[in-house]
Structure 1
Amino acid sequence: MTRTTAIRAADFTASVGVNASINYTDGKYVNIQNVLSDLNYIGVSLIRTAAYWVGMQGQAAYNLAASKGIRFDMLLYTNNTLANSIAQMSSFSAAHPGALVAIEGPNEINNFGASYKGMTGAAAAVAFQNDLYAGIRADKVLKATTVYSYTMNAGASSTTGYDYAAIHPYGRKGLPPLSYLKGDMASIPGNKPFAVTETGYSTLTTNIDGVDPLVQAKYDLDMIFDAKKAGASTVFLYELLDAYADPNGTDPGKHYGLFDYGNAPKPIATALHNLMQILGDSAASAGSFTTGVLDYTIFGADKTASNYLMQKSSGVFDLVVWNEQTIWNATTKTEVAAVPDKETIRFARVQETVKVYDPLAGTDPIKVWHNVSQITVTVTDHPLVVEVTKIASQTNAINASRGMATIHATAKGSVIVGGPGDQLYAGAGADTFVFHKGFGHEDVFDFDALSAKHDTVQFDSSLFADYAAVTAAMHQVGSDVVITHDAAQSVVLHDVSLSALSAADFLLL
């Protein structure tokens, strides 16, 4: 078994951001109320936008967004007057404590250039970055603010002047994102920690790098978890809105949005909304509790499969599993069917409940198991969330399905999961005997069907849909009750009278 320490689910959700240029007033970002509504819908409170300064376009939007709990990564270019920019951001941060969480150096100098103190290109970007870092650390308000570098893999490289290297791993030609992430990570010098401050896919399918909206959703979700698994401090999708019209359908840059030009949510917006709901943790301790460990092993996974473990303050674990595949043909402009990957997740202990969620399908579980130590899920081309609730610590859970032939309940309220050929013994009362599909032939002794602390038999609902089905399968054979599902699956309750049993003695889950 692999013992894995979880990260806080609240830390994960807080680290997912989106590019939202609320400094612009000539496109859809001009409507800040709409922007805030869209951010609220997707469950994201972290945005990347241009650095604040008094008198700028969108100044009121910044102040309103901050008052609504939006957090900022503010981006600078080398044409910004550095001392004034730092002073302006310091003023903003003082007015909105906690809103300015990161300041980022020059953006993509290969595309936008750099000019500073008589230098150009890489030298200008590096010098500007070093001065930016020194200025922030010298400012009494900003001194603890995280600093991101200029964009790596864009013509400049250094190890000074920042806390996290900023990278922009965009997938191309319909290919999945992981290889592009690894390529950009390779450009980071000195094993510095990193942040993904732009990433995404355009939905202009006529462009060589475009994909359709469903593939965008799947690839964007893959990228979020690829990056977090690789150690990214934050991941900013590009971008919130298709902010400008593209009547001729020729500009891929106008189609990266999570919402289209009419503000309808694309599948990625819906999927992100669902993901944030599934992983949501609103408890007061959500961002401060000490996470636990989960012992599990995954069998049968493809080499392209991966997993990532989180935990909520309630103690529930969220294990995300995904299998990244190429699902777009850039030549034919069509989706490629994913190859299903059956993954068996085996836990070291019996778990009370295991639920599987698909963020593309909604916020309700698509599959639920009770009192199991192993499940099998079919993973295709996007992340699934496996939610694991441990059995209460005071409950004695025994997994008898792995070759343990004779099992005794050692404490009141034990949960015993049966397997082929076992002999199971009740103990001090209120024990639960669990039989999943394929359980074989089982013998249960000392079963109490009458007292207030009576024992319980639990069957999968796929075996018996209701108590009437159980009744039809039960027969008195001498002093025993035999419950027969089929020729390969039966349970014998020894020294139990059929008349003593009732619906209260059975759970069908």
Structure 2
Amino acid sequence: MPVQAFCRFFRSLVVASCTLAALLPPIGDAWAASVQAKRDSDFLNSIGVNSAICQRGEILDKTIECVRYLGVRWIRSGIEGNPPLDKLIYLHQQTGVRYSWGLGSGGTDIKKLLITGEQLAKAGALLAFEGPNEPNNWGITYQGQEGGRNLSWLPVAKLQRDLYQAVKKDPLLKHYPVWSISENGAETDNVGLQFLTIPPGANTLMPAGTRYADFANVHNYIYHPNAPGLADNKTWNAADPTSACKVDGLYVEYGLTWAHHYPGYTESQLLSLPRVTTETGALIGGAITEEVHALNLLSMYLDQFKRGWSYTAVYLLRDRVDETGNQRFGFYRPDYTPRKAAVYLHNLTTILADQGVLHDPGRLAYAIPNEPATVHDMLLQKSNGTFDLVVWDEQIEGTSLVSVQFEKTVPTAKIYDPTVGTNPIQTLTNVRNLPLTLSDHPVIIEISH
């Protein structure tokens, strides 16, 4: 075993001994509220990427290969650049991947979006519709009026309103969700894009009751001028839906807009607001090594789903070769060699892979007493009833010793580390207390009954 792999294996091994306190089960009513599992498949379905698929230097056969390897379930795309639908449908047929289908940067052709969306829907390849991309950077002209950027955003608001109405009036498409525009926090005038539906008394330029979207849409990149460097809980904080988030997150788009501070939802409302991320990621360079990049993306997908984001797309599948400044975001280099991020995500999705259908997720009584602030956990379940308890740490230095304690003895527990591989690093039997040494990545405890 290579030295690096051995070191990582050692860091994530289950500790053979623990203190007497860790051996004792939680007291009182700690077991009264067992944990409701989420479907493995729902988490896997949340994992997406941005990709040009077969344009901008990308090769369709290579995209198919990459999508299969990563295990991603959806791609952010749209009518910008007129992508060939037959090739997109072929990609879906080969991999099962679906598409969020958007107007793109500066696009306004709702009719074209729906016509092409119908073709994707008939092929089973459509996930959702998306409004215009970042009108603060790419203005639009709609119904003869310019809008976005530093102009009035009324044309943007009318475009998004009309898109929503057109989708919901279409007999075939009406059941597909509509995602909002991105970077609506930049609106120059209060047109109400900080709401999915403008509530009474909002005092916006568009009338109360105007419906824009079913899901909020955010570009919460992990690193931001307000949070530029390495830090504990880096991706956990980027996924925070409240004002505690220091990056370009949900709060500054839908709570209090970042450009002119127009009020939207309260912080308590933001906690349950339906939401997606259509761009996030990290640029490799300086302190952001390929290892840090890989660990960030691994924990980011987990954090996003844990904190209520239904879908998350990383920018980017493969580094851009037709523009400057975006050369080191990708899971893959320009020559399609995989970075560590690709390997780690492949391992995670392989470990959690589930082809069946779980109708009613079950519950499991477990606890992690005195869980450190950088340690997080999420209970998933496969269609065969197996639980996958994911426990991850987000500290940049040192380790955390925790103990996962079960109310009832677990017959078999297999421990996986996606930074090591897809096979279990340890198999235990008759487990009641499971000590773990964690650092900067997840482990998966597969629990069979």
Shift in Å at residue 266 of structure 1?
0.7
Shift in Å at residue 179 of structure 1?
2.5
Given residue 363 of structure 2, which amino acid in structure 1 is its aligned partner?
A: V
Which residue number in structure 2 is paired with residue 299 of structure 1?
369
Report the TM-score when normalising by structure 2: 0.76
Which residue number in structure 1 is paired with residue 348 of structure 2?
275
Which residue number in structure 1 is paired with residue 419 of structure 2?
360
Quote the Cα distance in structure 2 between the aligned partners of 1:159 and 1:22. 30
Report the TM-score when normalising by structure 1: 0.67
Given residue 93 of structure 2, which amino acid in structure 1 is its aligned partner?
A: S
CA contact (8 A) 1:19 1:237 kept: yes
Which residue number in structure 1 is paired with residue 385 of structure 2?
315
Quote the Cα distance in structure 1 between the aligned partners of 2:343 and 2:62. 16
Which residue number in structure 1 is paired with residue 178 of structure 2?
147
Does residue 347 in structure 1 map to residue 406 in structure 2? yes
Shift in Å at residue 123 of structure 1?
2.5
Secondary structure of 2:279's aligned partner = coil
Does residue 240 in structure 1 map to residue 240 in structure 2? no
Cα gap change, 1:57 to 1:33, in 2 (>3 Å): same
Which whole-Å deviations, capped at 9, do the CAs of 1:450-480 have from their partners, x for residues lacking one?
xxxxxxxxxxxxxxxxxxxxxxxxxxxxxxx
Which residue number in structure 2 is paired with residue 43 of structure 1?
71
Which residue number in structure 1 is paired with residue 209 of structure 2?
none
Which residue number in structure 2 is paired with residue 201 of structure 1?
282
Does residue 169 in structure 1 map to residue 220 in structure 2? yes
Structure with greater proportional strand content: 1
Shift in Å at residue 44 of structure 1?
1.6
Does residue 112 in structure 1 map to residue 155 in structure 2? no
Which whole-Å deviations, capped at 9, do the CAs of 1:334-373 have from their partners, x for residues lacking one?
xxxx220011010000001112211111011122211011
Structure index of larger Rg:
1
More displaced 10-residue stretch of structure 1: 263-272 or 182-191: 182-191
Cα gap change, 1:385 to 1:274, in 2 (>3 Å): same
Which whole-Å deviations, capped at 9, do the CAs of 1:426-461 have from their partners, x for residues lacking one?
xxxxxxxxxxxxxxxxxxxxxxxxxxxxxxxxxxxx
Residues 324-335 of structure 1 mapped to structure 2, 5 A cutoff = 324-325=394-395, 327=396
Which whole-Å deviations, capped at 9, do the CAs of 1:139-188 have from their partners, x for residues lacking one?
12211111111014541423231111011111223332232332312132
Does residue 13 in structure 1 map to residue 50 in structure 2? no
Secondary structure of 2:326's aligned partner = helix
Quote the Cα distance in structure 1 between the aligned partners of 2:355 and 2:93. 19
Quote the Cα distance in structure 2 between the aligned partners of 1:169 and 1:11. 21
Residues 19-58 of structure 1 mapped to structure 2, 5 A cutoff = 19-22=50-53, 24=55, 26-27=56-57, 29=58, 31-51=59-79, 56-58=82-84
Quote the Cα distance in structure 1 between the aligned partners of 2:432 and 2:410. 6
More displaced 10-residue stretch of structure 1: 190-199 or 269-278: 190-199
Which residue number in structure 1 is paired with residue 16 of structure 2?
none
CA contact (8 A) 1:199 1:238 kept: yes
CA contact (8 A) 2:392 2:443 kept: yes
* Match of residue 99, structure 2, among 68, 72, 89: 72
More displaced 10-residue stretch of structure 1: 58-67 or 297-306: 58-67
Given residue 185 of structure 1, which amino acid in structure 2 is its aligned partner?
A: L
Quote the Cα distance in structure 2 between the aligned partners of 1:383 and 1:125. 41
* Match of residue 337, structure 2, among 242, 256, 264: 264
Does residue 127 in structure 1 map to residue 166 in structure 2? no
Quote the Cα distance in structure 2 between the aligned partners of 1:153 and 1:85. 20
Quote the Cα distance in structure 1 between the aligned partners of 2:366 and 2:315. 34
CA contact (8 A) 2:102 2:130 kept: yes
Structure 1 alignment gaps of length 5 or more: 328-337, 391-509
Structure 2 alignment gaps of length 5 or more: 1-30, 188-193, 198-211, 255-263
Which residue number in structure 2 is paired with residue 226 of structure 1?
303
Quote the Cα distance in structure 2 between the aligned partners of 1:50 and 1:224. 23
Quote the Cα distance in structure 1 between the aligned partners of 2:213 and 2:280. 20
CA contact (8 A) 1:52 1:85 kept: no
Cα gap change, 1:125 to 1:73, in 2 (>3 Å): same
CA contact (8 A) 1:322 1:382 kept: yes
Quote the Cα distance in structure 1 between the aligned partners of 2:351 and 2:79. 33
CA contact (8 A) 1:17 1:236 kept: yes
**How many residues align structurally?**
361
Quote the Cα distance in structure 1 between the aligned partners of 2:107 and 2:311. 26
Secondary structure of 2:181's aligned partner = strand
CA contact (8 A) 1:310 1:318 kept: yes
Given residue 148 of structure 1, which amino acid in structure 2 is its aligned partner?
A: W
Given residue 393 of structure 2, which amino acid in structure 1 is its aligned partner?
A: N
Given residue 181 of structure 1, which amino acid in structure 2 is its aligned partner?
A: A
Quote the Cα distance in structure 2 between the aligned partners of 1:303 and 1:83. 49
Shift in Å at residue 134 of structure 1?
0.3
Secondary structure of 1:254's aligned partner = coil
Which residue number in structure 2 is paired with residue 159 of structure 1?
196
Runs of 4+ more than 3 Å apart: 57-60
